[in-house]
Amino acid sequence: MVMKREIEVKFLNIEPTAIREKLSAAGAQIISPMRLMRRAVIKTPEMISREAYARVRDEGDKITMTFKQINQNKEDYDEVEITVDDFEKAIEILTGCGIPKVSYQESRREEWILDNVQICIDEWPWANPYIEIEGEDEDQIKDIAQRLGFDWENAVRGTVWEVYYDAFPHLKGTKPDVDDFKFGDPLPKSWVKI
């Protein structure tokens, strides 16, 4: 399987309007306005031990099926992705192969591009908005982050769980017991710190 290296970093707790102004001032072009995205995460226990998973994602304007696995540096992912035409049938194919669906997730995403680097403003249920900068060259990503006013020392790598651990520090080091992330659902009771 031929996979491409994906380098992505997040900067947490952003103010979307201020970020949009900085992106425009830097010459970034908006690719896709804020829209609802939904995804199914599908993985076996063996995939979990390899820090790998499959994902089917409805991005609003296209549907993708992706295999992602943490790469050797333990910070970035290698991935292979295809475009499919039916969200539910893609999930059905994977689950039909014996790979269980473990999570359904909703988020909102706005995409920009600057110097061939993808920049996304992301919103997830129960968490503060964040920005994700993704590309194939770390130095270029660092440059874009600096141009947008971010300190590289504050860059966060990893999955969206890092965003939730920032918002709910008492969950760090645990596997929170929530499988579905939907806008409008109440905060899970187990996430409330007493």
Q: How far is CA 60 from the centre of its chain?
A: 15
Residues in the chain: 194
Tens of pLDDT along 48-73? 778 888 999 999 889 999 998 888 77
Mean per-residue pLDDT of the chain: 91
Contact 109, 183 (CB under 8 A): no
Distance CA 15, CA 129 (A): 7
| Domains along the chain with CATH numbers | 4-177 (2.40.320.10)
Q: How far is CA 67 from the centre of its chain?
A: 14
Q: Which two tokens stand for residue 97?
A: 């192969």
Class of residue 28 by CB neighbours under 10 A (exposed 0-12, middle 13-18, buried 19+): buried
Tens of pLDDT along 132-185? 999 989 999 999 999 999 999 999 998 898 999 999 999 998 877 788 999 999
pLDDT at 94 over 80: yes
Predicted TM-score (pTM) of the model is 0.85
For the ranges 1-5, 57-61, 129-133, 189-193, the lowest mean pLDDT is seen at 1-5
